[in-house]
């Protein structure tokens, strides 16, 4: 019997892919408006390359873009990018349209809800709070805080210990197939959230859904 549901955050409870794309476009637009000597699409393409090269948690993406295009540091342009980026994120961050109702229904059924997320703790907590989801979750396990990242089995073990439940009593929902396989290796029941990624049929060994509301009918079958 399932007693605990563990959710990934990004692209599972909200559309982080859409949010990041909007924010990056806003950042580039803001920098170009203040003198960045690049065409919008070229600047956006190069920014995405820098993010891929340095990783999303690197804090100087805009600095590199500005220095490459102007040949010098320009704090005004970097600041314009930061403001455009964050203003867009703050304006557009929201849960998927069925996130709240699904979490409410799961709580009404007596299930304990939790989060397992990779990333920087401050950034992940900021998302949870801005999304208005903090009150739903009893435990929030973030890789930076525990020292292990999905799909390492240790992060799932820590999550089970925090929730005081056994793997067979748990359900893990994530959009990443590798993280799903890591959880299944630990004996945890899983559901692949396929709304954003639109992955082909896989052999991950569990059900896949295209919306959170599809989880509810599956609970009795797991």
Pairing of strands 112-117, 4-7: parallel
For the entire predicted model, the pTM comes to 0.90
Q: What confidence score (pLDDT) does residue 206 get?
A: 82
- Residue length of the chain: 222
Do residues 182 and 151 touch, judged by C-beta distance below 8 A? yes
Sign of the alpha-carbon dihedral angle for 196, 197, 199, 204: negative
Q: How far apart are CA 211 and CA 143, in angstroms?
A: 25
Domain ranges within the chain, ordered by starting residue: 4-14+95-221, 17-92
Closest CA to 121 of 149, 158, 93: 149
| CATH class for the domain made up of 17-92 | mainly alpha
DSSP symbol at 72: S
Q: What confidence score (pLDDT) does residue 164 get?
A: 97
Q: Residue 142 is inside which H or E element, if any? A: strand 139-142
Print pLDDT tens along the chain (222 aa): 999 999 999 999 999 999 999 999 999 999 999 999 999 999 999 999 999 999 988 889 999 999 999 999 999 999 999 999 999 999 999 999 999 999 999 999 999 999 999 999 999 999 999 999 999 999 999 999 999 999 999 999 999 999 999 999 999 999 999 999 999 999 999 999 999 877 766 667 789 999 999 999 999 887
Alpha-helix runs per DSSP H in 71-176: 75-92, 99-108, 121-130, 143-146, 153-163
Angstrom distances, CA of residue 104 to CA of 109, 135, 162, 216? 9, 11, 22, 11
Placement of tokens 């609970």 in the chain: 219
Q: Does domain 4-14+95-221 have CATH number 3.40.50.300?
A: no
Q: What confidence score (pLDDT) does residue 200 get?
A: 66
Q: What confidence score (pLDDT) does residue 201 get?
A: 61
Q: How far apart are CA 46 and CA 193, in angstroms?
A: 30
């Amino acid at each position: 019997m399932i007693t605990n549901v563990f959710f990934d955050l990004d692209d599972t409870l909200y559309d982080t892919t859409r949010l990041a794309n909007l924010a990056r476009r806003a950042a580039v637009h803001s920098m170009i408006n203040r003198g960045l000597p690049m065409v919008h699409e070229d600047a956006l393409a190069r920014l995405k390359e820098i993010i891929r090269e340095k990783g999303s948690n690197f804090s100087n993406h805009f600095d590199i873009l500005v220095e490459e295009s102007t040949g010098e540091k320009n704090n005004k342009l970097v600041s314009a990018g930061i403001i455009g980026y964050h203003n867009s994120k703050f304006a557009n961050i929201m849960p998927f349209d069925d996130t709240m109702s699904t979490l409410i229904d799961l709580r009404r059924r007596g299930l304990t809800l939790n989060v397992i997320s990779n990333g920087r703790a401050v950034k992940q907590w900021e998302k949870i709070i801005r999304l208005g989801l903090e009150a739903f979750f009893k435990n929030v396990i973030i890789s930076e805080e525990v020292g292990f990242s999905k799909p390492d089995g240790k992060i799932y073990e820590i999550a089970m210990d925090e929730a005081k439940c056994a793997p067979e009593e748990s359900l893990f929902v994530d959009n990443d197939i590798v993280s799903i396989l890591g959880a299944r290796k630990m004996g945890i029941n899983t559901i692949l959230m396929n709304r954003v990624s639109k992955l082909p049929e896989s052999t991950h060994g569990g059900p896949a859904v295209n919306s959170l509301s599809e989880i509810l009918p599956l609970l009795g079958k797991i």
